[in-house]
Chain A
Amino acid sequence: MTVTASASKVTQPVQRWLVIWALALTAVLMMFLLQDTIPWAVNYPAGAVVPVAEWVSALMGWIKSNLSWLTRSITAVLGVPLDFALDLLAKNFKIGHGADAYVLPRLSWVGVCAAAFLAGHAVGGRKLGLLVGGCFLYIALFGQWTSAMLTLALISIAVPFCIVTGLFAGIWAWRKPWAERLVVSPALDLMQTIPTFAYLIPMLLLFGNSPVSAMIATAIFATPPMVRATMLGLSRVPLEIGEFSDMAGCTARQKLWRVLLPSARPTLMVGVNQVIMLALNMVIIASMIGAGGLGYDVLLALRALKVGEAMEAGLAIVALAIALDRLSQAIAHKQARGHIRQETTPGVWRRHPNLSLAIAILIATTLLGLFLPAFAAVPKAITFTTAPLWKAAVNWVTINFFDTIEAFRVALILNVLNPVRAFCEGFPWLGAVFLLGLAGYQLSGLRLAALVAALTAFCAVTGLWEKTMATVYLCGISAFIACLIGIPIGFAASRSDRFEKIVTPIVDTLQVLPSFCFIIPVVMLFRVGDVTAMIATVAFAVVPAIRYTNHGIRQVPPALIEAAKVSGCTPRQTFFRVQLPLALPEIMLGVNQTILMALAMIIICAMVGTRDLGQEVFIALSKADSGRGIVAGLAIAFIGIVADRLFNAWTAKARARLG
């Protein structure tokens, strides 16, 4: 189409696409109706399945047998700092073997709680100190101390590793645009869309069932935000600051380390916060391959359907998550303050009073622990347990509301879930490839069309079509409900400051919670099955829908709203004719995020008995069948990539139209 096309013909392309879509849908419908004559177009023929899974298994087997010297040495090297951290925080140091082993104590729980309080106090004042210290005290008093410290030890080793790796990868990508385009960006996309479960299988295979493999999986999963933050931070440093460093005569190295990176600190710290939260999330999930800690407690309790214990451990995870998140956010926002009076350089003690005090308390309490057992381990006498309470609550609910809940559950399954499921699973694979390709072509062009069609076809030719569609159905329905709930809440929050004040802390907390935590309370009420998976997924994925909608409406320039008012728009007209259209790209971005989060969550919900790709990965994990697990993992990632690319193309188009 040329630019010179006259204005009167502008409507034509829209009508043309309408006709094309009508034809395409008819064709797919025909395909469905004629499935007796052309069954290969609806269900992928079993004989033609490409055995990708077997190839991957063979490859992994080869790696395992030929590169074991490498994986073993990696395990040994990484094991040293990890064991140190585990001993220091949770397990005590054992020197020597057997009965005559000499035991050095771990850090005292009293000291760690005090250090947590002081850390909060140093970066965010008394309030934050009390919050962080309180979270740790909660963990201690509720008898989760050792598990929580195991988890914390893993995080404290994985996070620095992620930060350093992410920083260097980000710098490399920033320096070399070709590296960013060809290596880093595609790798990041894949790393973030492959479900967490799928990481575990090759790790399990290569590094065995140990904390080290859990740590490596965690590191891989949690690094991408640091890479992105580094790239973003460096590219956002004002041009003049770079020019200044050149004019001051900085060498390339001085420019990077002394000017650009410190100037990018706020963005980098946002990355660090995200790394910490992702690492926590992953360490919990990695308990399946030997990470131990709180995640393992939840897993055991869930498997035995001990909801009380699961809830307790889950709450300890929540406490740890909140403490780590608030602490790292406060560090990110902390800015040094100027002062008028000149100081003479004081001693270490005066310059870092909180740090010195924390170290002193840690040493003192740990030494005390040698003589007073109450300092070494949390005394049984002062711990609480709420497990019976939770169990009683669940029992009470079950006894009194069983019929209501059951009716709700059955109605949902019969009227909503099953029909959608039947529709999705009966959808002709060829038709899906065709329709998605067409959408890609309309939104962006031939390249996107080819990518989308190829990725969709992958799911079919590997013989996973039915399971793929089961995932799509559950994910789609959950994301749809999440949007149905989240977008109106976002609208309400954008129109009322008071409501926003109530919503924001809830949303913030929901966002930091590891995905495991969402399953526990739902399982208590709805037992295992698709309904549980759906409700947990909705709760997990609702956050971006709320947040982006609120932000999108609020970022509409006030001048435009004033212009609308001056032209005599009623509030309703202002909202529908000005705010909503301008906020639409942002809202669509939120929907996109919601879909991706729903996908990630649905996979984890395999634990509560879904029948989709997640279950495939879960089974592969328990059988250590790497090929099966990785192929299913790739299929999940491809669903995510297809949804993400189509949505992004759509958003980009809407953005371009708004200018």
Chain B
Amino acid sequence: MTDRTEQGAMQPDTGSRPVKLACRNVWKLFGANAANFIRQRDGKASMADVAAAGLVGAVRAVDLEIRQGEIFIIMGLSGSGKSTLVRCMSRLVEPSHGKVEFEGKDLLKISDAALIELRRHRMGMVFQNFALLPHLNVLDNIAFPLSIQGQDRTTREARAREVIELVGLRGREHFYPRELSGGQQQRVGIARSLATKPEIWFLDEPFSALDPLIRREMQDELMRLQTMLHKTIVFITHDFDEAIRLADRIAIMKDGEVIQIGTPEELVVNPATNYVAEFTRDVDRAKVISARSLMRACEGAEHGGTVAPEAKIASFSADIVSAGKPFAVVNGTGKPIGEVTPQAVIDLLAGIERAAAGT
């Protein structure tokens, strides 16, 4: 019980930030009369109801809040509705029911003109297959969203060159998309979506079409950009490893429903369903689980060192095993709140499940 309260108190950085984008009971059903169907049921329907009405439930009863500056990952296999959900958030797809709130304002109620303004200045999106315009070169592709807004050539090209520099494409300004590699094309896609300085950034499986090595490189690139830009990011992926590498929080979707939202560690330690557990099974747990999840109450024995509660096990596993003594887990003020034993670390690394640690 104490752990829970500690945990809540120890994560001020995401919990206290303002909500940037929220979905409130969002539904997207495909089929005849879908909107009526869900309105008549007052926004409640089971999967069986939907199927009985001959509809397809792409997104069902999704509730989530995305906070300023976090990387929020929506993870699911193909057909789980994750792409439809992210398109509901930007109104590329009109939801059948529910509310999408952007800074508290209902996005579904604003006028077309206001929506265009919003998309021009405050939203950016990167696509799986890059969606570059084949008839424009790199510079013009990146400057395109600015030219749509009516900026003059010198202003928009100056800004385009800034973001080209940012994503490391200098020297390629006058190449056409088909002359670039996949990784370079996606860099153009990223630069283009950043050119308008958006506040919220939708990335729809941005690296799925790339080779594994390039994918890794682009993930690092994204993290580098995020440390500089601090955007609010909604990132779609079907790759759980990618999700764990990048996420502050992950929402796992199945059959149109969000079945669990949490930090990577929460998903690994407390999977809500077998489905989630199945995903997390092959994850390198030492890289996800922190000292806090593995610690138990101090038993007074002598400690071989100290670690912070957020420290991942992988960061001190070699030290603790060679020391052969428990490490104290200390909070910010230096007060010990528990300890991690070498045996617990070894069990974790070896994948041995014992009676739950930390109780």
Contacts and interface: CB of A to CB of B under 8 A. Distances in A.
B129 interface: yes
B119 interface: yes
A376 to B, nearest CB: 41
A259 interface: yes
Contacts of A339: 174-175
Contacts of B196: 248
Given A247-B125, A335-B176, A338-B175, A263 B135 contact: yes
Nearest to B171: A340
Contact of B120 (A249, A335, A337): A249
Contacts of A243: 87, 92, 125, 127, 131
Contacts of B131: 238, 240-241, 243-244
Interface centre among B127, B131, B133 (most CB of A within 10 A): B131
Contacts of A179: none
Nearest to B147: A258
A250 B150 CA distance: 11
A250 to B, nearest CB: 5
Contacts of B144: 248, 258
Interface string A55-71: 00000000000000000
A178 to B, nearest CB: 18
B90 A263 contact: no
A445 interface: no
Contacts of B118: 249
A144 B136 CA distance: 43
Nearest to B91: A246
Interface string B88-122: 00101000000000000000000000001111110
Contacts of A251: 116
Given A263-B133, A337-B176, A249 B148 contact: yes
Contacts of A336: 135, 137, 176
B351 to A, nearest CB: 40
A396 B303 CA distance: 115
A248 B120 contact: yes
Contact of A240 (B120, B128, B138, B193): B128
Contacts of B90: 247
A426 interface: no
Given A238-B131, A243-B87, A254-B148, A249 B176 contact: no
A645 interface: no
B303 to A, nearest CB: 54
Contact of B148 (A248, A262, A337): A248
B353 interface: no
B129 A248 contact: no
A342 interface: yes
B145 interface: yes
A241 to B, nearest CB: 5
Nearest to A340: B171
Contacts of A258: 144, 148
B222 to A, nearest CB: 18
Contacts of A244: 125, 127, 131
Q: Number of contact residues on A: which range applies?
A: 20 to 34
A262 B141 CA distance: 13
A527 interface: no
A338 to B, nearest CB: 3
B276 to A, nearest CB: 29
A133 to B, nearest CB: 29
A249 to B, nearest CB: 3
A249 B119 contact: yes
Given A238-B131, A240-B129, A240-B131, A249 B124 contact: no
Contacts of B202: 247
A421 interface: no
B119 A247 contact: yes
A243 B138 CA distance: 19
Nearest to B125: A247
A372 B87 CA distance: 70
B330 to A, nearest CB: 47
B266 interface: no
A241 B129 CA distance: 9
Contact of B129 (A238, A265, A340): A238
Contacts of B130: 240
In this complex, the interface size class of chain B, counting residues with CB under 8 Å from chain A, is: 35 or more
B116 A249 contact: yes
A339 B137 CA distance: 10
B123 interface: yes
User: Which one of A241, A249, A254, A259 has the highest number of Cβ atoms from chain B below 10 Å of its Cβ?
Assistant: A249
A241 B120 contact: no
Interface in A192-251: 238, 240-241, 243-244, 246-251
Contact of A342 (B124, B173, B193): B173
Contact of B124 (A238, A247, A250, A265): A247
In the complex, which of the residues A238, A246, A254 has the most CB atoms of chain B within 10 Å of its own CB atom?
A246
B315 interface: no
Nearest to B198: A247
A340 B172 CA distance: 6
B179 interface: yes
Interface in B286-335: none
Nearest to B179: A338
A240 B149 CA distance: 20
Interface string A246-275: 111111001000110011010000000000
B119 A248 contact: yes
A534 B173 CA distance: 59
A262 B133 contact: yes
Contacts of A238: 129, 131
A261 to B, nearest CB: 10
Contacts of A340: 171-172, 174-175
B12 interface: no
Contacts of A241: 131, 133
A262 B120 contact: no
Contacts of A246: 92, 119
Contacts of B172: 338, 340
B134 interface: yes
Contacts of B171: 340
Interface in A330-361: 335-340, 342
B235 to A, nearest CB: 15
A334 to B, nearest CB: 12
A338 B137 CA distance: 7
A635 to B, nearest CB: 43
B149 A249 contact: yes
A251 B118 CA distance: 13
A340 B137 CA distance: 11
A338 B121 CA distance: 30
Contact of A247 (B92, B133, B135): B92
Nearest to A339: B174
B73 to A, nearest CB: 19
Contacts of B178: 335
Contacts of B138: 338
B9 to A, nearest CB: 39
Contacts of B148: 248-250, 254, 258
Nearest to A250: B148
A336 to B, nearest CB: 6
B45 to A, nearest CB: 28
Contacts of B124: 247
A265 B173 CA distance: 22
A166 B271 CA distance: 58
Contacts of A247: 90, 92, 119, 123-125, 193, 202
Contacts of A338: 137-138, 172, 174-176, 179
Given A249-B116, A258-B144, 14 more contacts: A240-B128, A240-B130, A243-B127, A247-B92, A247-B125, A248-B120, A249-B120, A249-B149, A250-B148, A262-B136, A263-B133, A339-B174, A340-B174, A342-B173
10 contacts: A244-B127, A247-B90, A247-B125, A248-B148, A249-B148, A251-B116, A262-B135, A263-B133, A336-B176, A338-B176
| Among all A-B residue pairs, the 10 with the closest Cβ atoms | A249-B120, A338-B175, A240-B131, A248-B145, A244-B131, A249-B119, A247-B125, A262-B135, A240-B127, A249-B116
